[in-house]
């Protein structure tokens, strides 16, 4: 009986240690979700800051639904109507403020340091989103997104050993 009790206690101890290590590894992982803004109003080619069309508003809600079970620590968006409107439903559901950023003046090292070990959503444009991913990766892996595509989700993870992984999925 004492042997069984001892074995049981050892199993519990090792299980707790393993769970604690897994939690620590998760806490030391940085995850970036990068998306392009939803469908915008293209009726006026001279408008540099258009709003989303109805389909875009629907997609923004779909993005919010996609991220509902992901605990985000921060949401970044370029300071345009279409990107802010894309990020807004997710920000509301996560009870987070949207932090504006400028892709032209972004210091990637500072950004990575400030968001280390966080889970972050970044909303940009057909050219700035893949460029942002490339900056995180330190290589030119992804090209601009076709203007007709608003459903790409780039996911970049950086683990505790600074190993970086990336993937792209279509979310519709």
CATH number of the structural domain spanning residue 42: 3.40.50.1240
> Which residue, 67, 158, 167, is CA-closest to 113?
158
Contact 154, 168 (CB under 8 A): yes
In sequence order, what DSSP letters do the residues of 25-70 get, joined into one string?
A: HHHT-EEEEEEE---B--S-TT-SS--B-HHHHHHHHHHHHHTTTS
Q: Does some domain include residue 131?
A: yes
Domain hosting 114: range is 29-170
pTM of the model: 0.85
Indicate whether 12 pLDDT > 90: no
Q: Does some domain include residue 1?
A: no
Q: Residue 164 in 3-state DSSP?
A: strand
d(CA 76, CA 100): 6
Q: Does some domain include residue 22?
A: no
Indicate whether 43 pLDDT > 90: yes
Residue of 53 and 4 predicted with greater confidence: 53
Q: What is residue 172's predicted lDDT score, i.e. its pLDDT?
A: 84
What is the average per-residue pLDDT within 60-76? 98
pLDDT for 14-30, tens place per residue? 454 444 444 444 579 99
Tokens of 18: 């393993």
What is the average per-residue pLDDT within 100-108? 97
Q: Does some domain include residue 110?
A: yes
Q: Does some domain include residue 105?
A: yes
d(CA 115, CA 30): 7
What is the average per-residue pLDDT within 42-49? 96
What is the average per-residue pLDDT within 9-13? 47
Please state, rounded to an integer, the average pLDDT across all residues of the chain: 89
The domain total for the chain is 1
d(CA 39, CA 42): 9
> Which residue, 56, 64, 32, is CA-closest to 154?
32
């Amino acid at each position: 009986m004492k042997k069984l009790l001892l074995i049981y206690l050892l199993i519990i101890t090792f299980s707790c240690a393993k769970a604690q290590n897994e939690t620590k590894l998760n806490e030391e992982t940085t995850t970036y979700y990068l998306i392009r803004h939803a469908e915008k109003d293209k009726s006026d080619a001279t408008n540099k800051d258009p709003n989303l069309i109805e389909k875009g508003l629907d997609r923004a809600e779909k993005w919010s639904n996609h991220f509902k079970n992901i605990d985000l620590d921060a949401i970044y968006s370029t300071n345009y109507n279409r990107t802010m409107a894309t990020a807004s439903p997710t920000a509301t559901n996560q009870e987070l403020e949207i932090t504006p950023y400028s892709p032209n003046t972004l210091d990637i090292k500072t950004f990575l340091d400030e968001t280390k070990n966080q889970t972050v959503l970044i909303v940009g444009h057909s050219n700035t989103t893949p460029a942002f991913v490339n900056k995180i990766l330190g290589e030119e892996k992804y090209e601009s997104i076709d203007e007709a595509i608003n459903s790409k989700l780039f996911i970049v993870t950086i683990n505790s050993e600074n190993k970086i992984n990336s993937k792209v999925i279509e979310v519709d």
